[in-house]
Chains A and B, each alone.
Chain A
């Protein structure tokens, strides 16, 4: 339907948008090899010095370790809860079924500061009753809460594409619940579970808006970046860390895309995902 003029205009517009998305990222990668501490353009290339400086930073390594531990625990919890909930919603018609996905998406659909403040108020008010304090446990509980929806979306998308006759056949042939789950359901969901887990891990690993309100004195990698981003003399180290984090986030996305067959799987997991990170 498009005229030649429209086609050319759309192409140019699409190219400009793509450039807008990638120019800042490319600039950051270039600046990581800058000899100078200042951010003046053009950068003085080329050095790997800042990578080794960052590598020797003990607080940075500590923050990285905390982030990984938090992400592993949050992802594990989200995997169990997300998978169970997706089965319930897929298999049963019950009162309030539509509300389930709504509740799951709420922690990331609401404005970030609201979720952050709500969770921190809850931790504060439960300190006297159950002794929960700000720190790693609070971070894991918070992260798991908004990671559930990522796993849930991936698994339920897979379940909807899988015919129920497979599990019925297994049952008819004498497979009990656990056997059917192990031999039929699990292999079928495997890639969806891995993709969901990778995305949940990435979400937790990058999160700062809520984490900042739950961490207390504990430092995660994003909190480390946040603490150092304002200091002009630490600019090169932050830059190097930024590039490494950028590369680390591409790999899981790439694997997840391969596993779910298309980026749409990630996109749909992300479609309701409104949390920055």
Chain B
């Protein structure tokens, strides 16, 4: 009778083997081991940070001592509600984000359509790489490229000057619109390209067979199918524009919401609590935007 005693044998097995057997049998332990570290990291570092930010928005800065007082009040939010400058800049920033988004969607459409539905697989992959490359190019390099482009006497100035147009767009908000449209364009192209690729060719043939011309097929068949992809794409250009504070002072004289927050948080103002309260505005706008996007099934198109 070869009865093997389980306990001593397992004790002789190497630790790694016992540990992995334990993990294999105890799914809960395995889940804790794999998910635990990451979840802990994200909660401890990121969610904690967001909570600190939210809490600090209810603190106030003592104007005499310039010290943050840890007493709860709605003073910062009242300041924001009553000062028209915050409303004006918020409105300007939202309009800018919308303009950038519309520009990018319009620019993305032909390229995405061509790559997804007209190009050969080889050309399609080349175009995909051509879009991904500038996406990963350094943000400041892209800003610098446009600073060079738009400088007085620079390429754009020289080009427009040959048509007798001078001084456009200078340091106006149009510069910022142009630069942000440029920087976020690849983020917008990719989801729209993916959306075009998901449209089944048979739908288009069916539409054609049923007598619809190209324009009608595009409006009635293609557009409804790619709309979630367009909304998904717009999340990027909208959120990124709302959160940007570096490009504006570099290419224009116009300030956006991110600059107000940035200026309040540092520099001479050093009013972190008010900056924290003000940062709830882009946060709230994005929350609303994401809810609408989800209702339009945009998340499935991501």
List A residues at the B interface (Cβ < 8 Å).
Answer: 1-3, 6-7, 9-14, 16-18, 20-25, 27-28, 31, 38-42, 77, 80-82, 84-85, 87-89, 91-92, 94, 100, 103-104, 106-107, 109-115, 117-122, 124-125, 141-142, 144-145, 148, 171, 176-178, 199, 202, 206, 208-209, 212-213, 222, 225-226, 229-230, 238-239, 242, 245-246, 249-250, 252-254, 257, 262-264, 266-267, 270-272, 274, 276-277
Contacts of A277 in B (CB 8 A): 138-139
Where chain B touches its partner, the secondary structure class is helix
In the complex, are the beta carbons of A176 and B21 less than 8 A apart? yes
In the complex, the 9 A-B pairs of residues with the closest C-beta atoms, listed nearest first:
A177-B20, A111-B243, A13-B110, A112-B243, A88-B35, A122-B49, A24-B145, A85-B38, A88-B34
Contact of B20 among A12, A121, A176 (CB under 8 A): A176
Bound-state CA distance A235–B139 (Å) is 17
- Of the residues B24, B108, B137, contact of A246 by C-beta under 8 Å: B137
Contact A229 B250 (CB under 8 A): yes
Determine the distance from Cα of A111 to Cα of B180 in the docked complex, in whole angstroms: 14
Q: Out of A107, A110, A249, which one reaches B283, CB within 8 Å?
A: A110
Given contacts A229-B140, A229-B250, A271-B302, contact A84 B132 (CB under 8 A): no
Nearest chain B CB to A238's CB is how many angstroms away?
Answer: 6
Known: A87-B34, A92-B31, A274-B240. A21 touches B185 (CB 8 A): yes
Return chain B residues, CB-CB under 8 Å to A88. Answer: 31, 34-35, 38
Contacts from B to A (Cβ < 8 Å)? 16-17, 19-21, 23-24, 27, 30-31, 33-35, 37-39, 41-43, 45-50, 52-53, 56, 107-111, 113-115, 118, 125, 127-149, 151, 153-155, 157-159, 182-183, 185-187, 189-191, 194, 204-205, 207-208, 214, 217, 235-236, 239-240, 242-246, 250, 258, 261-262, 265, 272, 275-276, 279, 282-283, 286, 302
Minimum C-beta distance from A179 to chain B (A)? 8
Q: Are B45 and A110 in contact (CB under 8 A)?
A: no
Most buried by B among A114, A222, A238: A114
Residues of B within 8 A of A229 (CB): 140, 143-144, 147, 250
With A208-B139, A277-B139 as known contacts, state yes or no: A3 contacts B34, CB within 8 Å: no
Name which residue of chain A comes closest to B282, CB basis: A111
CA distance A263 to B129 in the complex (A): 6
Contact status B145-A28, CB under 8 Å: yes
- Report which of A82, A104, A252, A270 forms a contact with B135, defined as CB distance below 8 A: A270
**Alpha-carbon gap, A221 to B235, bound state (A):** 29
Which residue of A13, A14, A148 contacts B38 across the interface (Cβ within 8 Å)?
Answer: A148
B residues in contact with A18, CB < 8 Å: 111, 127, 130
Q: A121-B276, A122-B52, A178-B16 are in contact. Are A274 and B235 (CB under 8 A)?
A: yes
B48 pairs with A113, CB closer than 8 A: no
List B contacts of A271 (CB < 8 A): 190-191, 194, 302
A contact residues around B244 at 8 Å (CB): 111-113, 209, 276
Q: Which of B43, B46, B283 has the most CB of A within 10 A?
A: B46
- What chain B residues lie within 8 Å of A1 (beta carbons)? 204-205, 207-208, 214, 217
Could you tell me the dominant secondary structure of chain A's interface residues? helix
Contact B144 A20 (CB under 8 A): no
Q: Please state if A262 and B45 are interface contacts (CB–CB under 8 Å).
A: no
Q: Which of B24, B205, B279 contacts A114 (CB 8 A)?
A: B279
Nearest CB on B from A235, distance (A): 8
A-B contact pairs, 15 of them (CB 8 A): A1-B205, A10-B118, A13-B109, A14-B114, A28-B141, A80-B37, A88-B31, A107-B46, A111-B286, A141-B45, A206-B136, A270-B187, A276-B183, A276-B240, A277-B139
B130 to chain A: closest residue by CB = A18
The CA-CA distance from A222 to B250 in the complex, in Å, is 14
A242–B138 CB distance below 8 A: yes
Q: Give bound CA distance, A120 to B264, whole Å.
A: 14
Q: CA–CA, A226 to B145, complex, Å? A: 13
Given contacts A1-B207, A257-B132, contact A118 B115 (CB under 8 A): no
The answer for the CA separation of A270 and B184 in the assembled complex, in Å, is 12
A245 to B127, CA, bound (A): 22
Instruction: Output the least CB separation between B140 and chain A (Å).
Output: 5
Complex-state Cα separation, A233 to B246, whole angstroms: 21
Q: Which of A28, A114, A145 contacts B45 (CB 8 A)?
A: A145
What is the chain A residue whose CB lies nearest that of B262?
A: A113
Q: Is the CB of B144 within 8 A of A117?
A: no
Minimal Cβ-Cβ distance residue in A for B242: A111
Whether the Cβ atoms of B24 and A177 lie closer than 8 Å is yes
Cβ–Cβ < 8 Å partners of A111 in chain B: 239-240, 242-244, 258, 279, 282-283, 286
The CA of A19 and the CA of B94, in the complex, are separated in Å by 28
User: Is there an interface contact between B245 and A148, defined as CB atoms closer than 8 Å?
Assistant: no
- Residue in A77, A121, A226 whose beta carbon sits within 8 Å of that of B53 in the complex: A121
With A114-B282, A117-B265 in contact, is A25–B137 under 8 Å at CB? Answer: yes
In angstroms, Cα B20 to Cα A260, docked, is: 30
Q: Apart from A12-B110, A84-B34, A270-B190, list 14 A-B contacts with CB within 8 A.
A: A11-B110, A13-B110, A31-B148, A41-B153, A85-B35, A85-B39, A103-B43, A103-B46, A109-B286, A113-B245, A117-B276, A177-B20, A252-B136, A267-B194
